[in-house]
Amino acid sequence: MNNADPTRTKPLASPPDGPVRSRGGTLTASQVSAWFGASKVLEGVDLEMGAGRVTALIGPSGCGKSTFLRILNRMHELVPSASLAGSVLLDGQDIYGTSLRVTQVRRRIGMVFQKPNPFPAMSIADNVAAGLKLTGTRAANRTELIEESLSRAGLWNEVKGRLRDPAGGLSGGQQQRLCIARSLTVRPDVLLMDEPCSALDPTSTRRIEETIGELREQVTIVIVTHNMQQAQRVSQRCAFFLAAENEPGRVVESGPTSTIFDSPRDARTSDYVHGRFG
Amino acid sequence: MRTRARARSALPAGERGGAGAGSTGGPGPRKISARLTRGDRLYHATATAGAGATLALIVLIGLFLLIKALPALREAGWSFLTTKEWSPDAERPRFGVAAMMAGTLVSAVVAMAVTFPVSVSTAVFINEYAPRRLRRPLTSLIDLMAAIPSLIFAMWGLFVLVPFLVPLEQWAVDRFGGALPFMRATAIGASLGNAGLVISLMTIPIATSIIREVLAQVPRHECEGALALGATRWGMIRTVVLPFGRGGIIGGSMLGLGRALGETLAATLILSLTFEIKPRVLENGGITVASALAVQFKDAQTMGLSALMAAGLALFVVTFAINFLAAIVVSRSRSGAGVEA
C-alpha cells in the first residue's frame, strides 16, 4: 500500500482510481500570526507537521489551536474580518500562494470537525462519495472507493448493509467516522482534526483513536485535542499552545510527544500536561 | 423557572411511557400529569384563541362565498366551469369561469416562471456572493420592495415596462411565431404574458425575502464540511444550501403564487379584457378572475353579483388547493420541518 519514495513530486494526491500511494504530505508553518478584526489571536507560530506522523495541538481553550488548524487548510479566511500573516507550505508549495487554488488546497488538506457534519439529505454512500462530486472528479470505481474509504475509517462493517440509508440515522460516533471516510475519499495528503472526539462517548472515542492510528501510515494527521491522554495515545509530535491574558496565542513548546509529556523544557508545559491549570 | 422545567420534563417521560407499552411484564405506562402555571394557561388560551379565530375566519369567508354563490351555481350548474362568456344579468344568463380561470392560471404561470429563478438566484446572491457590507442594505431593499403597493408596480409596468417590451415581443413573435404556436399573436402589448411579467414584479420581492431568510438558516458547519472537501462555492450551494432550503424555496414561491393568483390591478390595467381563453401568452386579450371581479362588480345585478361570488369562490378553492399541495411538500423537507442533523 505504501510507497516510501521520498522524491515524490506529484502535484495532486494519488488519483482516486489507483491504490493509496500517498504517505502524506509535510506541512510547514512559519511565522504564522492571525487576527480577527483588530485582535491578534495567534503570533509567530513555527511548526513542522511531518508526513506519516500524528501531530497533536494541545493547550487551554482560547489559545488559538483551532484557529491555527483552520489556517492550515484555508478555512480561516471564511470568517469575515479574519486575516493572517506568515506562510504555510505543503511539500514546499505555499498554500496561500498563486500556484494552488483554494479548492485544491482543501482537497489535499482535508478536515474533520468538532461536531460531526455529514450531509443529512444524502445517503451514507453519497456522503462518502460527496467529495468526488464536489471536486468534479470522475471515478470509475465509485463503489470500491466508497468501501475503501469506509474501511479505512473503520466504519465499513457497521454500515455495509445500509449504504443507501440516510446518514442522519447513524450514531454520533458513526457520523464522525463517516466524516473521516468522506474526507479520505478525495485522497488528501493531510487530515486535520479539530477535537474530533469532544462530542463523542468513550467507546466511539476509542474507535476513532484506533482509526487515527491506522491512518497515520497513509496520511499526515494534525489533531487538536483537549484530552491529554488522547494526545499521548495518538500523537508522535506535540505542540503546546498558550495565550497569556490579553495576548495572542503562541507555541510554548513543541517536539516529540514523549518529551512534551515526560521532560518538557518549559514549566508552563509541565504544569499544563500534568493538569495543574487549563 | 421550576415549573417550566417540570413542564418540559413531561415530554421525554411521555415518550418513555409510550415505548414501554410494547414490552412484556413490568408496570404499564403511567398517567402523566403536567400541572401548568397560571401564566402558561393564559398563554395557552391566548394562542388557542388566536389560532381558532384565524381558522374560523377562513371558514366563514368560504361559507359566505358559498352562500352568496349558490343562486348562480344553481343557475349555471356544471357549465359554470366550462363556459367562457360572462353575461349573468342577461335575459337568458350565460356565464362561467373557464376564461377567467385560464387567464389567472396563465398569468400566474408566467409570473412564477420569472419569479422562481430570479428570487432563488437573488437570495443565493445576497447570502453567499454579495460583499458582506452590501448584504444588509440589499436585504432591506428587497423587504422594502415587498411593501410597495401593487398599484405602483402596475402603473410602472403599464407606462414603462410594457412599452419597453413591445418591440422585443414583436421581434419574438415575428421570429418564432411560425414555429411555436404559443408565440403567434396578431396584436401585442395588452397580453396575459405582460400582465404575468408585471405580476412577477410584485411576487419577486416577497418570494426573495422569504427564500433568503430560510437559506440564511443553513447550518454553517455543513457548508464548511463541503468546502473542506475542496468544493467550490457553487458546489457547496448546490449540495448543502439548496437542499436545506427546499422547503423555504417552495414556501416562498407559493406565497408569491398566492399573490399572483389574486393580483387584480396589474391585469386590470394592462390586459385588454376579453372573455376568451388565450393560450398565446403574447397576444392581446384575456381576463383573470380578480380583474373580472374588479371590473364587473359595479354594474352587476342580482345574478351578476352571485355569479361574481361564485367566481371568487372558485379562486378561493384553487388558491387553497395549491397552498395545500405546497404545505405537503414543505412539511417533507428539512428547512420546513426544522429537523436537526
Q: Residue A278: what pLDDT?
A: 59
**Residue A139 pLDDT exceeds 90:** no
Cβ A22 vs Cβ A219: under 8 Å: yes
Is A134 in Cβ contact with B235 (below 8 Å)?
yes
Whether this model's pTM surpasses 0.90: no
B221 → chain A, closest CA residue: A117
In the numeric block, the cell 345574478 is attached to B303
Task: Determine the angle formed by the axes of helices B302-331 and B242-262, rounding to 10 degrees.
Answer: 180
Helical segments of A8-110, H only:
65-72, 102-108
Strand partners, A223: A56, A193
At residue B147, what is the residue type? A
User: Using CA atoms, how far apart are residues B212 and B135, in angstroms rounded to an integer?
Assistant: 11
Q: Indicate whether A82 belongs to any domain.
A: yes
Q: Indicate whether B81 belongs to any domain.
A: no
User: Using CA atoms, how far apart are residues B127 and B115, in angstroms rounded to an integer?
Assistant: 18
Q: Indicate whether A260 belongs to any domain.
A: yes
**Residue B37 pLDDT exceeds 50:** yes
Rounded to a whole number of angstroms, the distance from the CA of A196 to the nearest CA of chain B is 13
Is A117 in Cβ contact with B230 (below 8 Å)?
no
Interface size between A and B, measured as CB pairs under 8 A:
79
A186 → chain B, closest CA residue: B229
Is A110 in Cβ contact with B228 (below 8 Å)?
yes
User: Using CA atoms, how far apart are residues B110 and B193, in angstroms rounded to an integer?
Assistant: 6
Residues A192-231 pLDDT 10s: 999 999 888 888 888 889 989 988 888 999 999 988 999 9
Secondary structure (3-state) at A84:
strand
Cβ A64 vs Cβ A31: under 8 Å: no
H or E element, residue A179:
helix A172-185
Q: Is A182 on the interface with B (CB under 8 A)?
A: yes
CATH number of the domain bearing residue A112: 3.40.50.300
Is A118 in Cβ contact with B225 (below 8 Å)?
yes
Rounded to a whole number of angstroms, the distance from the CA of A79 to the nearest CA of chain B is 11
Which residues of A fall within a CB distance of 8 Å from B244? 121
User: Using CA atoms, how far apart are residues A47 and B305, in angstroms rounded to an integer?
Assistant: 83
A120 pLDDT band, cuts 50/70/90, is confident
Residues A55-97 pLDDT 10s: 999 999 888 999 999 999 999 999 888 999 999 999 988 999 8
Q: Indicate whether B75 belongs to any domain.
A: no
DSSP, residue by residue, B159-183: IIIHHHHHHHHHHHHHHHTTT-GGG
Cβ B153 vs Cβ B266: under 8 Å: yes
Q: What is the separation of C-alpha A278 from the centre of its chain, rounded to a whole number of angstroms? A: 23
Q: Is A128 on the interface with B (CB under 8 A)?
A: no
Q: What is the total count of domains within chain A?
A: 1
Q: Indicate whether A173 belongs to any domain.
A: no
Q: What is the mean pLDDT of chain B?
A: 85
Is A106 in Cβ contact with B341 (below 8 Å)?
no
Q: What is the total count of domains within chain B?
A: 1
Instruction: Cell numbers for A83, please give them.
Output: 486575516
Partner residue facing B226 (CB), from A73, A104, A134: A134
B335 pLDDT band, cuts 50/70/90, is low
Rounded to a whole number of angstroms, the distance from the CA of A218 to the nearest CA of chain B is 18
Which residues of A fall within a CB distance of 8 Å from B232? 103, 134
Partner residue facing B221 (CB), from A104, A117, A183: A117
Q: Is A78 on the interface with B (CB under 8 A)?
A: yes
A160: number of Cβ within 10 Å:
13
In the numeric block, the cell 510554548 is attached to A252
Q: Residue B334: what pLDDT?
A: 65
Model ipTM value: 0.86
Cβ A90 vs Cβ A109: under 8 Å: yes
B231 → chain A, closest CA residue: A134
Q: Indicate whether A128 belongs to any domain.
A: no
Is B224 in Cβ contact with A117 (below 8 Å)?
yes
Find the domain containing B125 and state its range: 92-337
Find the domain containing A84 and state its range: 27-117+190-273
Q: Indicate whether B78 belongs to any domain.
A: no
Rounded to a whole number of angstroms, the distance from the CA of B52 to the nearest CA of chain A is 35
Instruction: Cell numbers for A113, please give them.
Output: 470537525
B173 pLDDT band, cuts 50/70/90, is confident
Higher pLDDT, A102 or A24: A102
Percent of the residues in chain A that have a pLDDT greater than 90, as a whole number: 57
Partner residue facing A186 (CB), from B229, B244, B339: B229
Among B118, B115, B78, smallest CA distance to B98 is for: B78
Partner residue facing B229 (CB), from A80, A120, A135: A135
Q: Indicate whether A159 belongs to any domain.
A: no
CATH number of the domain bearing residue B206: 1.10.3720.10
Q: Indicate whether B97 belongs to any domain.
A: yes
* Cβ-based neighbours of A39, under 8 Å, separated by 6 or more: none
Q: What is the separation of C-alpha A45 from the centre of its chain, rounded to a whole number of angstroms? A: 17
**Residue B18 pLDDT exceeds 50:** no
Is B341 in Cβ contact with A107 (below 8 Å)?
no
Cα B70 to Cα B63, B92, B296, B305, distances in angstroms:
10, 18, 18, 11
Q: Which of A70, A75, A117 to mutate to test the interface with B (most CBs of B within 10 A)?
A: A117
In the numeric block, the cell 407559493 is attached to B254
Phi, psi of B98 (to 5 degrees): -55, -50
**Residue B11 pLDDT exceeds 60:** no
DSSP A253: E
Q: Indicate whether A18 belongs to any domain.
A: no
Q: Is A82 on the interface with B (CB under 8 A)?
A: no
B223 pLDDT band, cuts 50/70/90, is very high
Instruction: Cell numbers for B275, please give them.
Output: 372573455
Q: Is A115 on the interface with B (CB under 8 A)?
A: yes
A101 → chain B, closest CA residue: B230
Phi/psi-derived region of residue A52, left when phi > 0, alpha when psi is between -120 and 50, beta in every other case: left
Burial class (CB in 10 A: 0-12, 13-18, 19+), B252: buried
> Considering only CB atoms, which residues of chain B are within 8 Å of chain A?
132, 219, 221-222, 224-232, 235-236, 239-240, 243-244, 334, 339, 341
Is B228 in Cβ contact with A183 (below 8 Å)?
yes
Rounded to a whole number of angstroms, the distance from the CA of B231 to the nearest CA of chain A is 5
Burial class (CB in 10 A: 0-12, 13-18, 19+), A118: buried
Among A211, A219, A195, A259, smallest CA distance to A49 is for: A219
User: Using CA atoms, how far apart are residues B175 and A155, in angstroms rounded to an integer?
Assistant: 60
User: Using CA atoms, how far apart are residues B272 and B162, in angstroms rounded to an integer?
Assistant: 13
Is A119 in Cβ contact with B225 (below 8 Å)?
yes
H or E element, residue B292:
helix B289-296
User: Using CA atoms, how far apart are residues A218 and B286, in angstroms rounded to an integer?
Assistant: 70
Q: Indicate whether B29 belongs to any domain.
A: no
Partner residue facing B230 (CB), from A78, A80, A186: A186
